């Protein structure tokens, strides 16, 4: 079995990178939440969904924040095809995320992205 790694890559075009993109999302986007995260999202302008991750210092030290960001990006990379159309999404970690294990964070992200897809299509 041959896997095409390009389908699961996480390139720069899949990321929110500039401050004005995050500010626009926070002003104009819809909001939803799950156990450990909440998301601000709106329909995207390009062909691909894009992800931004915000983890504040209140959540934990640098190692904890980096771990959470890495897990969110990995989940998005593997499940980006769930979205039927393109969205700009900023995932923001709640304070309790630092205590959760990887399985709990993945299930919380699954619920969150399901809500984003449901709210965006309505």
| More reliable by pLDDT, 43 or 6 | 43
Asked if 71 and 106 touch (Cβ cutoff 8 Å), the reply is yes
What are the φ/ψ torsions at residue 17 (nearest 5 degrees)? -120, -25
CATH T-level fold of 11-121 = Ribosomal Protein S5; domain 2 (3.30.230)
Taking the model in full, what pTM does it have?
0.87
SS3 content of the chain, % helix, strand, coil (to 5): 50, 20, 30
Summarised one tens digit per residue, pLDDT across range 90-116 is: 999 999 999 999 999 999 999 999 999
Summarised one tens digit per residue, pLDDT across range 25-80 is: 999 999 999 999 999 999 887 888 899 999 999 999 999 999 999 999 999 989 88
Asked if 39 and 31 touch (Cβ cutoff 8 Å), the reply is yes
Q: Which of 56, 42, 50 is nearest to 18 (CA)?
A: 50
């Amino acid at each position: 079995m041959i896997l095409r790694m390009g389908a699961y890559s996480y390139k720069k075009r899949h990321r929110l990178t500039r401050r004005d993109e995050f500010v626009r999302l926070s002003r104009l986007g819809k909001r939803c939440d799950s156990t450990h995260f909440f998301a601000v999202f709106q329909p995207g302008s390009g062909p691909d969904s894009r992800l931004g991750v915000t983890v504040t210092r209140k959540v934990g030290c640098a190692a904890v924040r980096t771990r959470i960001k890495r897990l969110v990006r990995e989940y998005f990379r593997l499940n980006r095809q769930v979205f039927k159309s393109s969205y700009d999404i900023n995932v923001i970690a709640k304070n309790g995320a630092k205590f959760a294990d990887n399985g709990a964070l993945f299930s919380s992200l699954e619920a969150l992205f399901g809500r984003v897809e449901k709210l965006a299509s309505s």
